[in-house]
Amino acid sequence: MPNLIKVSPDVEPETERPDPAKLITGDPVFTTWNLEEKDGLFAGIWQSTVGKWHVSYDEWEYFRILEGVSVITDADGHSTRLTAGDSYILRPGFSGTWEVLETTRKDYVIRL
């Protein structure tokens, strides 16, 4: 069925690293399985190895942690620990850091 897409990493993944100017610690590798990219909507699965980097969101994102442990810290220094089963929404304008303590995998939906 072309209008029903299973959310699983069965597509060819893309790999990259954070911009060196944003990197704080480690050498994290991002693996992304993009399942949908249409009309400003992006959905898929993202994974990162251990490291910490600066983030800044211009888009809206819903995500659910599938495995691993990460910590998101906002610009005011408030930290939130993310573990398997946690779901969050990051609104446009969020800035701070993302730190992966244990390889983390999440599914996501991003709206530009």
Q: How large is the average pLDDT for residues 90-102?
A: 98
Residue 104 lies in a domain: yes
Render 19-67 in DSSP notation, one character per residue.
-TTTEEEE---EEEEEEEEETTEEEEEEEE-SEEEEEE-SSEEEEEEEE
CATH number at residue 63: 2.60.120.10
Model's pTM, two decimal places? 0.93
Provide the residue range defining the domain that includes 104: 18-111
What pLDDT shows up at residue 101?
98
Asked if the structure places residue 81 within a domain, the reply is yes
Q: Cα 34 from chain centroid?
A: 12
Count of the separate structural domains present in the chain = 1
3 occurs within a structural domain: no
In a domain, 102, yes or no: yes
Q: Is residue 70 part of a domain?
A: yes
Each residue's pLDDT tens digit, 7-63: 877 889 999 999 999 999 999 999 999 999 999 999 999 999 999 999 999 999 999
Domain membership flag for residue 8: no
